[in-house]
A and B are shown apart, each in its own frame.
Chain A
Amino acid sequence: MSVVDSPTTRPPGGSTAPHRAPGSHAPRPRRRSRDALSTPWLLSLPTLALLALLLGYPLVRMVVLSFQNMRLRELISGRTPPWVGFDQYTKVLGDSVFWSVVGRTLAFTAGSVLVSVLFGLAIALLMRRVSRGVRLFMMVAMMFVWALPQLVAAQIFRWMTDSDFGVVNYVIDKLPGVDYSHHSWFVSPIQGWIVITTLVVWAGIPFLAITLNAGLTQVPKELLEAATVDGASPWQSLRSITLPILKPLITIVTTLSVIWNFGLFTQNWVLRDGHPEPQFQTLATYSYTQAFGQSRYSLGSAIAVITVLLMLGVMAFYIRQMFKIGEVD
């Protein structure tokens, strides 16, 4: 928990040490060194306080809640819910439904991130190869997709895959020998997840392709030209020159994609009309449904705690990556 925990433990505790001084402060600071010691903490204080109050405290409360049994009755009466120890966790961890949700979320994350990053990289490389006008067109097209709110994008996909009037069925139906009129995409979980993954990949490509394209402009042209002159195939140049230079950037965007896709909520939520069937639940929607749909607030919290724990390694990695770069500052 050390990383995510820090908003709660750090700000109040950490800030007390250096900045106790300002109270006894003379109207005008005599020495700059003294001034420089307390000022930054005073400046950071509002931010840290807000983060502690609205992120740190809820985080602690979430953990506490997962050891209690909060139901609708306690919510209404405001009484302290009974302590149940690890009951919620044993219940969750002993539930095969939960494990299938975990497996599904992991499988979706792995699959969607792999497809997105590969696609993003391919498009970024393509952008280096096309003429200027086409590159501009690609850029504009992706900007529009990127700008669309998640919810709107999900609603558009829901409309396009509508079983009666959706354009996707209409187009597929046109193929010779295929009958897709009134085809429902969410009867089979595989097909449903194909739609969800397509939506996530489609919405994710702009960020990946545009960022990676910016990274590709940093690859020295002379190097690639020299390699070509020396007889390297395009594939060899890509593997031995371009990818190594691009690696730090690929690492960061992949990590971010993992964090985002692991928390999938909007897309499956909207595509399944706000009531995802068991086969379309991810950890985020599952926790939400347990808490706000079934009023099992403690059970939902336990699931949320497990979700955060599962994510911790990836998050720590991202922060370390950022810090490595930050060291330069």
Chain B
Amino acid sequence: MVAPAVTRPAVRKRRATADEGVLTVGRSRAGTVAANLAGVVFSLLMLFPVYWVLNTAFKPAEEVLALTPTFLPKNPTFDNFVSAVKAPLFLKDMANGVIVTLLAVAGALVVGFLAALAIARFKFYGRKAVILVVLAVQLVPFVALLIPLFLMLQSVSLTNSLIGVSITYLVLILPYTVWTLRGFISAIPRELDEAALIDGCTRAQVFWRIILPLTGPGLVATSVYGFIQAWNEFIIINTLNSPGKQNLMAWLLQNQTTRGTAWGPLMAGAIITSIPVVIFFLIIQRNIATGLTAGAVKG
């Protein structure tokens, strides 16, 4: 199977330069101009909602609720951000989100790494079954499991607790973690292990001195993706926990049920909530698609 990210960037780079020698046969200049125009229009359309949140967030209240919307704030202000941060529970929910996310990611990384190691480095009876389980559970709609999950956690008093949500999130991101790390580990040449074993290393030493350091970038990419997943989740935390024990996504959701949405602060809150995710996402974007479609593109 193609190892997702470790080998990809190098391959990509080589290709990027290769395809710069654009197909010249049968391509007219007018066609390129038209294509460029279409590309720019498409990008602007895609970006419009993003632009519109920013535009709204920096407007004072009376400009937000203007029947004729303006396409740039006339009197740009940070008021909306201030009132979002000062809103009840905002900072509390932010802290909750950070705690829950970090616990889930750290746990998934430790647990998932071991399983990834088993799948990537050992041939054993039942290996396929483990792979099957890991792949299958990624597809189970979590919303469908919410009812029993809620009842189960309630019976052990783990509803309305950050621990219960952290464990749930851990399981939520675990399959992807195992699957991606498996790719990173298989990308490390097996000969390195063998050489170390011949030189007298134990299996444990091979792990600590060779596999772990070489999987470093993979661990970062995987944990960042886990972070995004856990940070963006709101259905589970909104169902299991009551306000005060929720995260920022749930805060954004709650904000709408009060009569008459305060759009300015809501959009400002949405921006604050999205910033860490967007930054992280842009850092690791290359790895995300490859994990889902590993090997489907021959690379």
Contact = CB atoms under 8 A, between A and B. Distances in A.
A36 B122 contact: yes
Chain A, interface size category, equals 35 or more
Contacts of A62: 144-145, 147-148
Contacts of A318: 135, 139
Nearest to B19: A217
A243 interface: no
Interface stretch (B74-82, B85-93, B288-296): B288-296
Chain B interface size range: 35 or more
Interface in A128-172: 128-132, 134-135, 137-138, 140-153, 155-160, 162, 164-165, 167, 170
B133 A6 contact: yes
Contact of A181 (B49, B67, B299): B67
B198 interface: no
A194 to B, nearest CB: 16
A210 interface: yes
Given A129-B35, A159-B56, A291 B69 contact: no
Determine the main DSSP class of B at the interface with A.
helix
B50 interface: yes
Interface stretch (A96-104, A108-116, A185-193, A319-327): A319-327
Contact of B64 (A4, A165, A323): A165
A156 B42 contact: no
B136 A319 contact: yes
Give the residue among A11, A145, A152, A225 with the most B Cβ atoms within 10 A.
A152
A148 B278 contact: yes
Given A54-B167, A156-B52, A141 B46 contact: yes
A160 to B, nearest CB: 6
B1 A51 contact: no
A28 B203 CA distance: 11
Interface in B242-299: 249, 252-253, 256-257, 261, 263, 266-267, 270, 273-274, 277-278, 281-282, 285, 289, 292-299
Contacts, number: 333
A128 B52 CA distance: 29
Given A44-B115, A158-B256, A300-B147, A325 B1 contact: yes
Contact of B252 (A134, A151, A251, A328): A151
Contacts of B44: 141
19 contacts: A39-B122, A39-B203, A51-B133, A55-B140, A59-B145, A61-B151, A129-B27, A143-B282, A144-B278, A155-B256, A159-B56, A165-B64, A165-B67, A167-B52, A211-B297, A224-B23, A284-B144, A319-B139, A325-B294
Interface of B: 1, 15, 19-20, 23, 25-27, 31-32, 35-36, 38-40, 42-44, 46-47, 49-50, 52-53, 56, 64-69, 111-112, 114-115, 117-119, 121-137, 139-141, 143-152, 154-155, 167-168, 170-171, 174-175, 178, 186, 203, 231-232, 234-235, 239, 249, 252-253, 256-257, 261, 263, 266-267, 270, 273-274, 277-278, 281-282, 285, 289, 292-299
